[in-house]
Amino acid sequence: MILVHTPKTGFDWRTARNEDDFEQKLIRTPLDEIYDLAWSPDSSSLLAGSVDGYVCVVRLGNKVDVHQGCHKGFVQGVSWDPLNSILLSLGNDRSCRLLSWKEKERKARNIRTLKKRVIPTKNEEEEEGEKKREEERSVSPSSEEKKKASHPMFADSTLSSFFRRPSFTPDGSLLLLPSGLCPDGELLSHCCWGVLRDRLEEPSIVWGGMEEPAIGIKSSPFPFPLPPPPTNPEAPQPLSDLPHRYLVAVITTKELLFFDTHSPNLLGRVRNSHLAPLTDLAWTRDGRGVIVTSYDGFVSMVRLDQVGRPILQEEVGSNEEKKEESIETNQNKEIEETETPPPVIFISKKKRPKKRISTILVSSSLPEKKIRLEDSGENSIL
């Protein structure tokens, strides 16, 4: 069952002042114990994932539209595409399922399963030879060949958390997948995957540098301008050809990490903010901070200092034309209901002040102390 709280005046939460201003709706589903929920873009439906391996799309009017088995194990994370055409689920069977969603028909079908990733070769001749062999091969390769050529994309059921929380960027251009595994020499190290919307067959971006498995990943609510191109020809190439970048927050059971969609470098991390393992994260509406929850029953907020102005939604343009149109910054626009402009976190090599981040503990089981954002690599969050 799903319990939904809504203001009695509709969806205007600003008018709610106490418990009497809310009404409760009980939604019954055919699912077993539910691990994760995701709202549809119009807030009329919910996507739920269960321990029985099924996902379910249910309307607030208690009508179940989809009840589909997607995984052989627990469904530990779900997400609904902002463009309302893809449903995403992530399970402990080491697979990610992408379902095509038809709003008018209220039906979903499996279009892609991400489970294994072919290890890219460094030699172009080897790549061409492999392509020719695949064309000539009439049957699938043997298990031994598959083992040499690929690796599992996600951690197995021994992951030390009940959650694997995927998400989309606000414009739907990128799918963000936690609990990933990527090659690191002869071993596999923990990472998060980024899958471009127009290239769903394999991930295009990898964020590494994690000591523990990632259990959640979310991007900032606003895109930011790209940094100036590097003058050093040996500098890392951009991760994607997107005309803008998003900041990406990742949580493991012990720490909060920051990346962006343009650079592979770790921008910063926050450790030891809770006594117990972390469970979930969310960006604030103005994009100035990240809220983190924990098993210890407390919530902490990480605020980012020295911020600028993001690219506004009107400047990004429609989703169909965003790849063809250039992005122009409109300095005169302001976000509604914010006293100061929303932030941009600039990447720079200049000398930085000691205080780069302030943490507000809404309620905490730890004694009051400062949490410092550590630098990693050339870049860091100011």
pLDDT number for residue 157: 85
273, 256 Cβ separation under 8 angstroms: yes
pLDDT number for residue 15: 75
What gap in Å lies between CA 275 and CA 297, rounded to an integer? 10
Which residues, at least 6 apart from 195, have a Cβ–Cβ distance to it below 8 Å? 114, 174, 175, 177, 202, 203, 204, 205
pLDDT number for residue 11: 64
What gap in Å lies between CA 220 and CA 248, rounded to an integer? 6
In terms of DSSP bridges, do strands 150-152 and 86-91 run parallel, antiparallel, or are they unpaired? unpaired
What gap in Å lies between CA 189 and CA 209, rounded to an integer? 8
Q: Which helix (H) or strand (E) holds 257?
A: strand 255-260
What gap in Å lies between CA 55 and CA 262, rounded to an integer? 32
Residue indicated by tokens 């002040």: 353
277, 159 Cβ separation under 8 angstroms: no
The domains found in the chain, sorted by start residue, are 1-115 (2.130.10.10), 159-382 (no CATH)
How many other CB atoms are found less than 10 A from the CB of residue 326? 7
pLDDT number for residue 315: 53
What gap in Å lies between CA 185 and CA 339, rounded to an integer? 49
For residue 248 the two structure tokens come to: 């990406």
pLDDT number for residue 127: 56
Residue indicated by tokens 């929920």: 37
Residue indicated by tokens 């932030």: 343
What gap in Å lies between CA 1 and CA 99, rounded to an integer? 23
What gap in Å lies between CA 200 and CA 204, rounded to an integer? 9
List the pLDDT tens digit at each of the 382 positions of the chain: 888 888 877 667 777 778 888 888 888 888 888 999 999 998 889 999 999 999 999 988 778 888 888 888 899 999 999 999 999 999 999 999 999 998 888 888 999 999 988 877 655 445 556 665 666 555 454 444 444 578 899 998 888 788 899 999 999 999 999 999 998 888 889 999 999 998 998 899 999 988 899 999 999 998 888 888 878 777 778 888 888 889 999 999 999 999 989 888 888 889 888 989 999 999 998 888 899 999 999 999 998 876 557 776 555 554 444 434 432 333 333 333 333 334 433 333 334 444 444 444 444 444 433 334 444 444 444 3
pLDDT number for residue 243: 84
DSSP assignment, residue 374?
B
